[in-house]
Amino acid sequence: EVGWTDLDVRAVDTARILAADAVQKVGNGHPGTAMSLAPVAYLLYQNVMKHDPSDPDWLGRDRFVLSCGHSSLTQYIQLYLNGYGLELSDLAALRTWGSLTPGHPEVHHTTGVELTTGPLGSGLATAVGMAMAQRRQRGLLDPDAAPGTSPFDHHIWVLASDGDIMEGVASEASSLAGHQELGNLTLIYDQNYISIEDDTDISFSEDVAKRYEAYGWNAVTVDWREQESYVENIDALFTALEDSKTSDKPTLVLLRTIIAWPAPTAQDTGASHGSALGADEVAATKKLLGFDPDVNFPDDPEVLAHARLVMDRGQAAHAEWDTAYNTWRDANADRATLLDRLLAKELPDGFADAFPVFDADAKGKATRAASGEVLNALADVMPELWGGSADLAGSNNTTMKGEPSFVPASKSTDMFAGNEFGRTLHFGIRENGMGMILSGIALEGLTRPYGGTFLVFSDYMRPAVRLASIQQLPVVYVWTHDSIGLGEDGPTHQPVEHLAALRAIPGLDVIRPADANETAVAWRTALQIHDHPMALALTRQNVPTWDRTEFASADLTEKGGYVLVDAEGGEPDVILIGTGSEVQLAVHARQQLAEQGVRARVVSMPCREWFDAQDQSYRDDVLPPTVRARVSVEAGVAQGWRELVGDAGRIISLDHFGASADYETLFREFGITAEAVAAAATESI
Amino acid sequence: EVGWTDLDVRAVDTARILAADAVQKVGNGHPGTAMSLAPVAYLLYQNVMKHDPSDPDWLGRDRFVLSCGHSSLTQYIQLYLNGYGLELSDLAALRTWGSLTPGHPEVHHTTGVELTTGPLGSGLATAVGMAMAQRRQRGLLDPDAAPGTSPFDHHIWVLASDGDIMEGVASEASSLAGHQELGNLTLIYDQNYISIEDDTDISFSEDVAKRYEAYGWNAVTVDWREQESYVENIDALFTALEDSKTSDKPTLVLLRTIIAWPAPTAQDTGASHGSALGADEVAATKKLLGFDPDVNFPDDPEVLAHARLVMDRGQAAHAEWDTAYNTWRDANADRATLLDRLLAKELPDGFADAFPVFDADAKGKATRAASGEVLNALADVMPELWGGSADLAGSNNTTMKGEPSFVPASKSTDMFAGNEFGRTLHFGIRENGMGMILSGIALEGLTRPYGGTFLVFSDYMRPAVRLASIQQLPVVYVWTHDSIGLGEDGPTHQPVEHLAALRAIPGLDVIRPADANETAVAWRTALQIHDHPMALALTRQNVPTWDRTEFASADLTEKGGYVLVDAEGGEPDVILIGTGSEVQLAVHARQQLAEQGVRARVVSMPCREWFDAQDQSYRDDVLPPTVRARVSVEAGVAQGWRELVGDAGRIISLDHFGASADYETLFREFGITAEAVAAAATESI
């Protein structure tokens, strides 16, 4: 039905040979899946997906997600055959320094790669976020068009392996995809029964189609192994994929393949998953497929020219889309203006003025509450901002009041009314899934996502956070209940090591504001950042809102660290550095020290990364090298603070797990107090 | 059928009232589920589980796992009613400092609590490990007894909530439980359609029974909500639970309940999940159930005496078991000796002699390979040691050669032959599930588990690692491919921040040996530790095996840090501190410096935690305070090293993500070289 010619078949076989050759050349890599999925990937790029290789950033394009990122050749070879700019020399440079063809696909590195994959499950889960973002973007820009008629309609195509399906994060995201009825999502699960420990029967015996039906997906099985001999029934796969385009649910296409097909002895073996086939096997495969065994990286101009005809079809589709797009622009001037702003990654007019300023208040306000007020203040100003929580909306203060939930209308509840284009996200108790979905939303490119849970559960979503950092995605994590200050829930819910562990991640900003106004400036600063993720660590408990006529301006939060209140009467004898809820302890200690005649400066340090990015002179102004007596105070592990307090300094920290009690008792019993800070200051001097 | 009397019903209602009172008194907590699950928990403790409150450590007891740990009162109240030592005053002290009734159940803290729960999904996943351990222990000690006839047969009972079922780790472990055909596991899923964001319909619409059937479980639905009015059909639940005792698969009992039943207005509300009901609602509930609304913590001696009759039944069962146990001892002298050793947590005779000693070899050996040799050497000596990998057995070197896999015989593969009592674990690509399962194995108490994956994927299992640390469980994580040294797979697979992030976890030892002999001593030391988890970070690439006649003894590894090779010709000018594969760079730099007339000492620091535990004089011997010129070298983030190198020191680190290339190129391009160490040393002096 798809009507492949001999040249198409030759192109697919060329892809298999290139995969075997590329791995053989570098001596390591994953040839097997790239060989057996060659016809699948070729079908997607040539016959199924809407894309235009001459404009890889085309707004109307479908997205391709290679969740089995180890099989990067599956994509690289199609990017070559389809004319995305990769050439044979790039394939020959696989997995070498500086090449465009690293071991796993990397977004922002290789044209045509939409996301970075490799850690199993992550691509599939991220794809769910892309599918959600497509719907939200469509709702922002073109909500009234009939299904399938909008220039903002596009489809997400995922290739996944056994390992993807086993990972918990795939379960979380797939469950949510079914719930969200994401008809714009198709998952091809390559069931080849092989993983690194060889036959997957050793650890995996699920009925995967049934599992996905239980999530609310369509499940279609295309079994290329059902007959005595292996038959790659392209038409059956094509039909399943085409049908999925108009489904009102996400579709699982469970495709049974033989890994490394048709390599004569390597096929269906675990070794072919992650090792070069060996020169003899590569040569035998070439002979079998009618290629010259002595020619590596075969280059048949006729095959390439045929495959690259896809560019004409893509450009034609693009031109047709352009017409629809321009019609839309003409009819939707305001929305077009919004789109232009979003594409330019500009903030809206009135952005800076939208933020609340909080009055001084000794009783104070939890920074999570301040964060919630900021979000509400931004609701009308910044329609691209949306987010939610992993079932802790009320605790995380992540809901913009009055905004509809992003959920099929039939799934509205008494508490949350929703529709398919809604704004408030409900991730359920699926933190890692949430993290990957936030990345997928950011990768779609038009909107700004945030997501909340307790700081302690940042552990659950750490794989997603790391990938967001690698991919330089402007996601905001809203992590509340940021210390033993959460109190009675006890050690399993109290973060201790998390601030240090998160600061260790390259490219992630960890921001722990000390009061309501620092929280507002933290959000304001964070939303101006477009090239990496940010994490807010927010208190459950109230903290004083400082009088900023008495203390320094909260605008200095954007510097990462600043002199909140200086020593009185001359150069400081000691510098007290705090973050978040512990800054108030430093402020109290300063007072106690003053009564003893000791001059103490208080530095609020909401973001170590932002402070490190300041120039040396600013940093020396805040932390004069001549003042060696220093104390840091943070209700977390000491790790990392020696860098700022130096050999002469003291660190007030919490280097063990917490306990279940009210928070005042915990701070007192664990010695995180103003008195302790003052005593440490005296020691340090 | 279960035949409850009025006193049983009264005891259940008392449990509901105590739950409401306890939360009301402290002002925060989770009353709703404890009220609605009161009959379920009472049924388990009174009529279903094999246990003896007078001997909470009875080897033959069933295990109770409260995966919905927030509903800790569900268990605390049964521990009170069943005579485990908790009294009303303990319930009244809920969630307060020093009480036996913290917010979430904590093992080693409250008698009768088998594991620490709270983070959702963790209890259920850990229970899978308990069920696996039970089978392995049975296989070690009494393999030939008919099913159900051995003193080592017992059952694992889990209570779980919607949140548990949504978490990815539950999916991973449940999939594996189905695969493993764990008939000794029963999961009661309390489907009350309420989580913190109120009606679970907002984020969850799975057919959970179908999903579990897809995993290979029995699924039974007991719907207390199916009739017009809510009917707690205890007999139906009892039948389902009793049937599950003899199942040859794990059983899901999907129990539909109404949260906070029968509170007149709080029932079936999100608020009742995590907030006190309010005095009026508590009083109304008491009236409804025929209790005096003015009496808090009702104490009816007749009810208590009736409930505590369970102790007689438990003791009778225990006595009967003792007979069987003694018969077993008499017939199995060797196995009884083994059991006594395992119960005493003693290492076997010949333990220390079993470890390989590796010959000096400049070409060297990967520490992962050395680790694999250690495991093989221990196979016969230490039958309690078992483990495996999350689908990376060959890469992690975690397989003891010739040992059968732990898997139903029907699931043997060409590569791995197995049986139900086998030893090699196959976790599939499910790292967090693996972590929780390892904890469950350790909690069962007789065997010593280890599990492997790549170090970068320690992120995926971080929630499990943290819980193992909180619970002080002697689990060994085998994390290989511990740096950019893994090479071509690129940044998604290269750990950078992980050593720092793991060292931040209180109570976890992170051990990164520098050569094969340090690896052997690391294992030897780790296996002598019984009260906390340990992580081995091992190289993919070869590292030199030092000549220990020239360098210090590898036995010093157990100190955590030691002088590997000292400066020649006097006091050192500078100290070079390395870990793992970077120690060789320090050794080379020492030589280069010597050629410049600089005296450098090389300190190998395989375990910061072990070094910190040494006394001050040892530490000062290794790192003399007078020698302020110091350089650390580790292919990871700098965080944490300032503590050892001090203000005058230099840190050679990797503070950004890696890249895809061969490892020699990566070390060179990223400046992790002997030359860089030598240059930094010169700067530091």
DSSP states of A557-571 as a string?
GGGS-EEEEPPSSSS
Measure the CA–CA gap between A138 and A147, rounded to whole angstroms: 10
Which residue in B167, B204, B501 is closest to A504 by CB distance?
A: B501
Q: How many other CB atoms are found less than 10 A from the CB of residue A166?
A: 29
Give me the active site residues of B, please. Answer: 431
Which chain B residues are within 8 Å of A662, Cβ to Cβ? 96-97
Measured CA to CA, the distance from residue B61 to residue B631 in angstroms comes to: 54
* Residues in chain A, pLDDT under 70: none
The pLDDT assigned to B629 comes to: 98
Domains and CATH numbers, chain B: 6-315 (3.40.50.970), 352-544 (3.40.50.970), 556-684 (3.40.50.920)
Query: B389 CB near a chain A CB, below 8 Å?
Result: yes
CB contact under 8 A, A506 and B162: no
**Nearest beta carbon to residue B205 from set A179, A457, A505:** A179
Q: What is the pLDDT of residue B1?
A: 86
Mapping DSSP to helix (H, G, I), strand (E, B) and coil, where does residue A181 land? coil
**Is B257 at the interface with chain A, CB within 8 A?**
no
Mean pLDDT of B476-482: 98
Q: Is A470 on the interface with B (CB under 8 A)?
A: yes
Phi-psi region of A508 (alpha: psi -120 to 50; beta: other; left: phi over 0): beta
Instruction: Provide the pLDDT for residue B192.
Output: 95
Handedness of CA A67, A72, A74, A79 (dihedral sign): positive
Chains A and B form CB pairs within 8 A to the count of 365
A198: which chain B residues are within 8 Å (Cβ-Cβ)?
A: 413-416
CB-closest option in B69, B97, B197 to A659:
B97
Interface ipTM:
0.98
pLDDT tier at B585, thresholds 50, 70, 90: very high
Residue A633: what are its φ and ψ, rounded to 5°?
A: -140, 125
Task: Report the amino acid identity of residue A328.
Answer: W
Interchain proximity A504–B490, CB inside 8 Å: no
Rounded mean pLDDT of B126-130?
98
Interface of B with A in 661-680 (CB under 8 A): 661-662, 665-666, 669
Question: Measured between CB atoms, does B606 come within 8 Å of chain A?
Answer: no
Please state the rounded mean pLDDT for residues B121-136.
Answer: 98
DSSP assignment of A184-210: TEEEEEEE-SEETTEEGGGT----HHH
Contact (CB<8Å) B206/A175: yes
* B33 pLDDT higher than 90: yes
Q: What is the pLDDT of residues B362-391, one digit of tens each?
A: 999 999 999 999 999 999 999 999 999 999
B interface test, pick of A162, A453, A459, A608 with most B CB neighbours within 10 Å: A459
> In the block, which residue shows the tokens 């001084």?
A360
HSE-CB of B353 using CA atoms within 13 angstroms: 3
Q: Do A203 and B427 touch (CB under 8 A)?
A: yes
Give DSSP secondary structure letters for B28-55.
-S-HHHHHHTHHHHHHIIIII----TT-
Mean pLDDT of chain B: 97
Q: Best mutation site among A91, A107, A391, A541 for testing chain B: the one with the most B CBs within 10 Å?
A: A391
A645: closest CA of chain B, how far (Å): 10
Taking the Cβ of residue B214 and every Cβ of chain A, the question of whether any pair is shorter than 8 Å is answered with: yes
Backbone angles phi, psi at B158, to 5 degrees: -125, 135
Cα–Cα dist A208/A185, whole Å = 17
Q: Whose CA is closest to A211, among B430, B210, B219, B178?
A: B210
A197 min Cα distance to partner chain B (Å):
5
Q: How far is A179 from chain B (nearest CA, A)?
A: 6
Percent of chain B with pLDDT over 90: 99
Helix, strand, coil in percent for chain A, rounding step 5: 45, 15, 40
User: For testing the chain A interface, which of B425, B489, B612 should be mutated: the one with the most A CBs within 10 Å?
Assistant: B489
Percent of chain B with pLDDT over 70: 100
Of the candidates B214, B405, B647, which has its C-beta nearest A202's C-beta?
B405
- Check residue B67 and give its pLDDT: 98
Please write the tens of the pLDDT for every residue from B517-574: 999 999 999 999 999 999 999 999 999 999 999 999 999 999 999 999 999 988 999 9
pLDDT at position B32: 96
Measure A594 CA to nearest chain B CA, in Å. 28
Q: Which residues numbered 525-584 in B keep a CB inside 8 Å of some CB on A?
A: none
